[in-house]
A and B are shown apart, each in its own frame.
Chain A
Amino acid sequence: MTPSRRPPREPMPGPIEWLRENLFSSWGNAALTVLALAIIYWTVVPFVTWAIVDAAWTGTGRDDCLAYDGACWPFVMQRIGQIVYGFYDVGQRWRVDIALIVLAAGLAWLTLPRVPGKRPVGALMLTLYPVAAFFLLAGGMGLEHVPTTRWGGFMMTMIVAMTGIVASLPLGILLALGRRSDLPVVKGFSIAFIELWRGVPLVTVLFMAANMLPLFAGLSVNKVLSALIAVALFSAAYMAEVVRGGLAAIPKGQYEAANAMGLPYWQAMAFIILPQALRLALPNIVGNFIGLLKDTSLISIIGLFDLLGIVQAGSTDPEWAAPNTAMTGYVFVGVVFWAMCFSMSRYAKHMEGVLAAGERR
């Protein structure tokens, strides 16, 4: 019989005991607890009152919202189509639906644990899906052409963010490797590229791409395309620095071990160095993705409406002019952004645990 290592169970503390131990263990802690409770009370209660209790829930116009002190939810409900699809033609919205559903299914497949076939699905999502989604959204091959001026809303946010995320990681890895390379041309180019893009604000980049290129160079670039390229290159530069941080944290012995095994450079990187570096860099990579997702709102500077922009524009409709219309829209947008960012950060946390399995022994 093996002796159990588990210590004897302590009796469950009673609620008062638990409070005393955790919240009121000293005068200082007691004061902090009271302060925290007060802050929660002063923020959560008014918010819930505004967003739920005093809110208008049904209606068709500003008069229905003027009668209430709280949020004006009918505004969001009536415009949910526009918030998701922008100005996309109503009869063609099924195309966006398909693109979004396939995207959601693909992401779920790739992120949920214990689902088989991640490699082929991932490859399809990275190669076939973007092309298919492009034709689905823009038209062509028998589908009616929908000009990008009619794109907008949640769909635009997803297009810009997904393109940025998918393009920035591989580009960033290449740039990071380039910056640590021994080849002077590659190294110089990587440094110049990274520092150029990190040295200018995204707003400037977008403005230059959309307004200055046509003015000076006479090039008329599609605005959505220029925004996608600008966001992808911009975030690639930031991603490169994050990945470089991960590379720098790998002990020299790992490089030497890889060399000693006779692995060529790319194999050493792909099988020895990068898996470890990316794991170390993962929290920052996801932090970058989250920042990128939120930065998509900056495309409003060049007259493209993302999720935030479309709600902001919609709130100027005089049919809905009421004190809380715009605020309701902003809260809605905030919740959507928060949900997306929070799920990304939770997933990153989960992946950190999975990837760190090798270190728990």
Chain B
Amino acid sequence: MRSGLARFAAFAAILCFAAGAADAASPTLAKVKKNGYLRCGVNEGLPGFATPDAKGNWTGLDVDFCRALAAAIFNDPKKVRFTPTSAKVRFTVLQAGEVDVLSRNTTWTMGRDVQIGLEFVGVMYYDGQGFMVPKKLNVTSAKQLSGASVCTNTGTTTELNLADYFRANKMKYKVIAFEKNAEVLAAYDAGRCDAYTTDASGLSAERLKLKNPNDHIILPEIISKEPLGPAVNQGDQQWGDLVRWTMYAMINAEELGVTSKNVDKMLKSPSPEVRRLLGVEGSFGESLGLTKDWVVRIVKTVGNYGEVFDRNVGKGSPLKIPRGMNALWKKGGLQYAPPVR
């Protein structure tokens, strides 16, 4: 009798769970759909990642990720409202629910992941902190920077990495920190500091703005791992899944050769991997709360990861940053997405 009751309870629990799973719709997704637009936190202005173009549209790698999300949800990459956030307020803005996703060149660290209630969904861009110095200093390695004054931004991991690196190498330094990139660069260009440190992608962008870009070199040392990726609030696993798989879909699309130009043709591809990715087979889109053709929507309107990279920071942009660590795993890089299966 007792076991019968226990069995009934277990059965009831399974029923409840199944029912729960069936309408396991993400509250965030429901809210986004109800609003009719995605709210996306981006940088206030970082070349290649988030910047308003002349026509008043936000452009950049981080921006395009939000557009991809909007494309997956609404089939319209324009249904995004961007909130520019400074480095200091970005997490507050996300936690306060002012944005649905934070796509703002934010470094994924353990502290941020486990201590402040964020969930990082993946790595959109593998970056690392480097140093730029004027050539006339005749410095060829960051190890020679003992006693240097270093310009950087306040309130980011950059300042902490800098301290770690100099302490580990028993070198002295003086930090001169500013809130905005423009201020850091102006101080560096005016000679107020010997070196400028920030993420290597940022250095390439800032170097373009110097009086004589060729008079400055980026030192070979990369002193930190800066995996930059989008983050969402903890507590809505399904929404995290949707954001994560949007990124993986873009990477998988590149790996499988699906581009914005050939995506319609690819629908007829015999490859089972392509067919699953594009929703010809399986119902992966539905299980995210989207439609079957969610990846087709993303790739057609925004592009695959490689296209987005090239257009914003790579060879199709003034920044001309090489793919490097951000190449696909098959090409010697780190970008690797689990399969759609």
Residues of A within 8 A of B (CB): 62, 78-79, 81-82, 85-88, 90, 147, 149, 207, 210-212, 214-215, 220, 300-303, 305, 309-310, 312-319, 321-323, 325-326
Contacts of A318 in B (CB 8 A): 47-48, 51, 205, 208, 317-319
Are the CB atoms of B56 and A62 closer together than 8 Å? no
Bound Cα distance from A157 to B45, whole angstroms: 19
**Smallest CB–CB gap between B230 and chain A, Å?**
17
Question: Which residue in A90, A301, A321, A322 is a CB contact (below 8 Å) of B205?
Answer: A321
Give the one of B92, B209, B211 with max A CB within 10 A: B209
Q: Which of B191-235 contact A (CB under 8 A)?
A: 205, 208-211
With contacts A62-B318, A149-B81, A316-B205 known, what are 11 further pairs, Cβ within 8 A?
Answer: A82-B55, A82-B56, A214-B97, A214-B98, A215-B92, A303-B89, A309-B44, A313-B44, A316-B45, A318-B51, A322-B208
**Smallest CB–CB gap between B212 and chain A, Å?**
8
Residues of B within 8 A of A (CB): 44-48, 51-57, 59, 81-86, 89, 92-93, 95-98, 180-182, 189, 205, 208-211, 317-319
Bound Cα distance from A90 to B84, whole angstroms: 20
**Smallest CB–CB gap between B91 and chain A, Å?**
10
- State the main secondary structure of chain A at its contact with B: helix
**Smallest CB–CB gap between B105 and chain A, Å?**
12
Contacts of A86 in B (CB 8 A): 56
Contacts of A326 in B (CB 8 A): 182, 209
Contacts of B210 in A (CB 8 A): 323
CB nearest to B85 among chain A residues: A303
Are the CB atoms of A305 and B318 closer together than 8 Å? no
Task: Decide: A303 near B44, CB < 8 A? Known: A82-B56, A318-B319.
Answer: yes
Q: List 13 contacting pairs A-B, 8 Å CB cutoff, sorted by A.
A: A79-B54, A88-B56, A147-B81, A211-B92, A212-B92, A214-B98, A303-B83, A303-B85, A316-B51, A318-B47, A318-B319, A322-B208, A323-B189
**Smallest CB–CB gap between A23 and chain B, Å?**
35
**Smallest CB–CB gap between A296 and chain B, Å?**
16
Are the CB atoms of A319 and B318 closer together than 8 Å? yes
**Smallest CB–CB gap between A327 and chain B, Å?**
8
**Smallest CB–CB gap between A360 and chain B, Å?**
50
Contacts of A317 in B (CB 8 A): 47, 51-54, 59
**Smallest CB–CB gap between A308 and chain B, Å?**
11
